[in-house]
Amino acid sequence: MLEISGFGTVLLFFIGGISFLLVTLLIGRILRPNDPTPEKQTTYESGEEPAGSAWGQFNVRFYIVALIFLLFEAELIFLFPWASVFGDENLVAQTDGLWSKFSMIEVFIFIGILLVGLAYVWAKGMLEWVRPKPKAPDYKSRIPSSAYSRYR
């Protein structure tokens, strides 16, 4: 009997996955109709005719808000398993309520970490859509500005 090492098993799974992908793409290519028309080849823009170039400037704040949303949304997913374990009456009864106290402390720590992250983002002004203009400091230095000219 042929014995396969751990790397051989990984290689077989890799080859199997790639071959499955290629076979399904080939079957889809064979079965689907191919009837390109000028209307089908146009860019879809919410049902409207595209206006201008797609390479326009895009505000970076959209990305920041989306990243913050994804961060908090992904961390919120961790609360669902906690709620299902916390709601298990058998587990709570077996530990004489110690498990429920531990779970509550754990979730308050977790939510506290989320709130610290939210406070940080809020303090940095990343949740404000229109940022205030930065103000120049009004500090008057005793060193004359001509002293800095030789360091430039």
Global pTM reads: 0.44
148 Cα distance to chain centroid:
45
Q: Is residue 39 included in any domain, yes or no? A: no
pLDDT in tens, 43-90: 776 767 767 776 777 777 788 888 888 877 887 788 877 777 777 777
The pLDDT of residue 32 is 92
pLDDT in tens, 21-44: 999 999 999 999 888 888 777 777
Q: At what angle do helices 98-123 and 79-86 cross, to 10 degrees?
A: 160
Q: Specify the number of domains making up the chain.
A: 1
Q: Is residue 2 included in any domain, yes or no? A: no
Find where tokens 């390479």 sit: 55
The pLDDT of residue 117 is 85
Q: Is residue 113 included in any domain, yes or no? A: yes
Query: Within 10 A of 82 (CB to CB), how many other CB atoms are there?
Result: 14
Q: Is residue 94 included in any domain, yes or no? A: yes
The pLDDT of residue 15 is 97
pLDDT in tens, 89-146: 777 777 777 777 777 888 888 889 888 988 988 888 877 777 667 777 777 777 787 8
Which two tokens mark 92?
């709570």
Burial code (b: 16+ CB inside 10 Å, e: under 16) for 37-49 equals: eeeeeeeeeeeee
Domain hosting 104: range is 60-123
pLDDT band at 13 (very low <50, low <70, confident <90, very high): very high
Which two tokens mark 36?
């390109």
Q: Is residue 48 included in any domain, yes or no? A: no
Q: Is residue 110 included in any domain, yes or no? A: yes
Q: Is residue 109 included in any domain, yes or no? A: yes
The pLDDT of residue 139 is 75
